[in-house]
Amino acid sequence: MFPQSWGVSILVSGRQIGDNMVATDWFDVRGAVSWLAEQTMDYTVGMTRFWEQKYWLSDFTAAFAMAAIIFVVTMLSVLGPVWMERKLIARLMDHRGSTIAIRSLWTGEGNIRVEWWKNLPFGIGIPIGWINGFLWNNFGNESSNPKVTQVGNRSYAGWWWALPGMINNFADFTKFAIKEHMPPRDADTVTYEVAPFIIISTTLLVFAFIPYGPTLYAANPDLSLIYMMAIFGIAPLGVFFAGWASNNKYTLIGGMRSAAQLTAYEIPLLVTVLGIAVLSGSLNIIEIAEFQMNSSEGSVWNIFLMPLGAALFLITMIAEVERTPFDMPEAEAELVEGWWTEYGGMRWGLLFASEYLRALAACLLFSLFFLGGWEFPFEDSLITIPIIGGIFEFIFQIIPHSIWLLMKAWLVFGFFIWVRASLHRVRTDQILEFGWRYLLPLSVVQLGLSMWLRLGVYDGGSWPLIVPALITLVSIVLFVVLVMDEDEDALAEQRRPYHVSEINKASPGARMNMED
């Protein structure tokens, strides 16, 4: 729609529209931003005697604007996982609490309300007051709407699908912002202050390279994959700093554990990612994503080509973002919060955000690498259906493709949450053993597989359909076989089986026969 900006710079773009681009729609943010920047510079700097500077100035402005836009998009899209975690955890754990908790923001009966928004500075709370008034008047407790006032259904929104609970996150951040910053007395001040910055800045920097859509990215160098993995891996350093600098034995232990764990899982992660790159033929994230699109021409989602790699990627990413079952470093039962115990106020808020941001980055990467990026499943095939195809085509042109990517990422995050609710925490030495002894060899195996696939099977343009089908089938069969494996010997000779021959009324000290 808008002409592409001219001039190729590392910051702005390395590609042109039309280079193997598959999915495109009106939602061309980059184009719009760079056009706007150009026009601005044309009519301001271009009219002065420094008009020769307008070229690099417009590029610079466009890049800066894109970075800001990506930042906002990231922050908004991280709200999704945070909200989803609360709701999904509530349902998995069978308590469903937060759905009703919106009531707690409007406390009081009748006309007594705790108007917390009035405490916000600069009057930014006033619109919240309007929202509150609207909700209270229309959906509040006293209402002629019987669905609302009936016993058992007294949230402000009478319907469970009205997504209550989103505002909680804003309230949370307000709370963090107004809390006191209390460094420990004997803490190593410089390191203590620097550590959160390292963690948070590297986390946010990762999002510069993650494309949200075909044109919604901040930077796209040719080797964006390597850049991103490198930056992703700086965070352990910050964690280590934080654990050390807080002058606290617990955080020290937490930092040590974290450093060991993150380092141990970087390697299988990198080898897996290498496998992806080999399979997709490029070290550029957008090209990897586009390698999987265009299903009518034989492109398949990578998850069907390397399911083992997908599983490995998921597991190593869960360990990288330190979620249960790998959250030993912040195990509350032993270390309270682990390496971030001594941080309060906004520092803690940003660390908390960075945990979710890293998780979101992991989910987005998974969707980009394995789930076909921003393509709707079977998009290209759906369009070719004779009559209904027109409708699909219309839908896919109206809805920006970024939405599909976000949906997939949030689904993967749902999987993360499901794992968190079900599994226990693994002990640190067991985590390390698992990473080094099991995941690393598997990832090397996966690398070999993807090399063979790319070099031996891929025929330059598309995948013959038999290949992904066979691979998926073999993986499922393998999974089922492994699951059904009831290790009878282990069961038999294990310390667990007991058969008690007879129980007699015993005196203290009498015990049963103990063999083995």
Partner 1 sequence: MAYHPRATPNFRNLVVRPMWITLRAALRTIPVIGPKLFSSGYHGKEAKMLDEKTANRIKGGDSDSRFYAADRETSHFVKSPSRPVTIMYPYERLEDLEPWLFVPNNYNGRIGVVWETCTACKACVRACPNDCLHMESEVRVNVLDMPDASDENLGLSTVEFMEGGYLAQKKEDFEDIENTFSLETAHESAPQQYDFAEIIDLSGNTASVRWQETGKIESVDLEGMIPAEQDIVSGRIDLGRCMFCGLCMESCPFNSFFMTNEYDGMSGMTRNDLWMDASRTRVLPVVHKEAVDRELAKRADKERSKRERAAKKASKTKQQSEDKPENAEAEA
Partner 2 sequence: MAEMWISMGPQHPMTHGLWTLKVKIDGETIVDTIPDLGYIHRGVEKICEARDFTQITPYCDRLCYASANTWSHSYIYAAENLLEVEVPERAEYIRLIAVELQRIASHLMWLGAYCPDIGNLTAFVYCLREREMMLDLLQELGGSRMHYNFPRIGGVKRDLPHGFAMRCRAKVKLFLERIHEYEALLDESTIFLIRTQGVGYAKPEEMVNHGVTGPNLRAGGVNYDVRWAHPYSVYDELDWIPSVERSSVKGADCYDRYRVRLDEMKTSADLVLQALDGIPGGADTYHEPGDPALLGKAPSRASDGQTGFHHFEDPRGESLFYIVGGGDARGKNPYRVSIRSPMFITIPYAAKCMIGYKIADVPAIMGSFDPCIGETDR
Give the phi and the psi of residue 330 in degrees, each rounded to 5. -120, 30
Q: Which of 112, 151, 333, 482 binds partner 2 (CB under 8 A)?
A: 333
- Other CB atoms within a 10 A radius of the CB of residue 39 amount to 12
Considering the complex, what minimum distance in angstroms separates the CB of residue 442 from partner 1? 13
The nearer residue to partner 1, 39 or 422, going by C-beta atoms, is 422
Rule CB under 8 A: is residue 324 a binding residue for partner 1?
no
Place of tokens 């090397």: 444
Rule CB under 8 A: is residue 422 a binding residue for partner 2?
yes
Considering the complex, what minimum distance in angstroms separates the CB of residue 473 from partner 1? 19
State which of positions 440-499 bind partner 2 (CB under 8 A). 495-496, 498
- CA distances for 255 relative to 149, 182, 244, 367, angstroms: 51, 20, 7, 30
- The one-letter amino acid code at 383 reads I
- In the shown chain, the binding pattern of residues 207 to 236 toward partner 1, with x for contact by CB under 8 A and - for none, equals ------------------------------
Distance CA 176, CA 253 (A): 26
**Residue 387 contact partner, candidates partner 2, partner 1, none, CB within 5 to 8 A by sort of partner:** none
Q: Which of 42, 115, 429, 459 binds partner 2 (CB under 8 A)?
A: 429
Rule CB under 8 A: is residue 250 a binding residue for partner 2?
yes
Distance CA 501, CA 494 (A): 18
Rule CB under 8 A: is residue 505 a binding residue for partner 1?
no
User: Read out DSSP for 230-268?
Assistant: HHHTTHHHHHHHHHHHT--HHHHHHHHHHHHHHHHHHHH
Distance CA 18, CA 3 (A): 12
State which of positions 135-194 bind partner 1 (CB under 8 A). 141, 150-154, 160
The SS3 call for residue 182 is coil
Considering the complex, what minimum distance in angstroms separates the CB of residue 433 from partner 2? 10
Considering the complex, what minimum distance in angstroms separates the CB of residue 336 from partner 2? 6
State which of positions 35-94 bind partner 1 (CB under 8 A). 88, 91-94
Rule CB under 8 A: is residue 491 a binding residue for partner 1?
yes
Both tokens of 235, joined, read 């965070």
Cα dihedral sign, 504-507-513-516: positive
Q: Which part of the chain contacts partner 2 (CB under 8 A), choosing from 145-153, 374-382, 468-476, 505-513?
A: 505-513
Q: Which of 26, 422, 452, 470 binds partner 1 (CB under 8 A)?
A: 422
Distance CA 240, CA 252 (A): 8
The nearer residue to partner 1, 155 or 282, going by C-beta atoms, is 155
- In the shown chain, the binding pattern of residues 88 to 127 toward partner 2, with x for contact by CB under 8 A and - for none, equals ----xxxx--------------------------------
Q: Which of 47, 96, 134, 384 binds partner 1 (CB under 8 A)?
A: 96
User: Read out DSSP for 111-171?
Assistant: T----GGGGSGGGTTHHHHHHHHHHHHHHSSS-S-HHHHSTT--SSSSSGGG-TTTHHHHH
Place of tokens 């229309």: 138
Rule CB under 8 A: is residue 336 a binding residue for partner 2?
yes
Q: Which of 39, 332, 437, 491 binds partner 2 (CB under 8 A)?
A: 332
Contact yes or no for 243/251 (Cβ under 8 A): yes
Rule CB under 8 A: is residue 426 a binding residue for partner 2?
yes
DSSP class of 453? I
Considering the complex, what minimum distance in angstroms separates the CB of residue 511 from partner 1? 14
Q: Which part of the chain contacts partner 2 (CB under 8 A), choosing from 179-187, 194-202, 322-330, 372-380?
A: 322-330
Rule CB under 8 A: is residue 199 a binding residue for partner 2?
no
Q: Which of 212, 425, 435, 467 binds partner 2 (CB under 8 A)?
A: 425
Place of tokens 């606290």: 248
Considering the complex, what minimum distance in angstroms separates the CB of residue 402 from partner 2? 33
Q: Which of 324, 354, 402, 443 binds partner 2 (CB under 8 A)?
A: 324
Q: Which of 178, 423, 470, 473 binds partner 1 (CB under 8 A)?
A: 423
Nearby residues of 468 by Cβ (< 8 Å), 6 or more positions away: 300, 301, 304, 305
Distance CA 374, CA 368 (A): 7
Distance CA 273, CA 375 (A): 21
Q: Which of 10, 95, 118, 469 binds partner 1 (CB under 8 A)?
A: 95
Closest CA to 202 of 165, 175, 257, 239: 239
The SS3 call for residue 78 is helix
Residue ranges binding partner 2 (CB under 8 A): 92-95, 249-250, 253, 256-257, 324-325, 327-328, 331-334, 336, 421-430, 495-496, 498, 500, 503-512, 514, 516
Residue ranges binding partner 1 (CB under 8 A): 88, 91-97, 99-100, 103, 109, 141, 150-154, 160, 418-419, 421-423, 482-487, 490-491, 494, 496-500
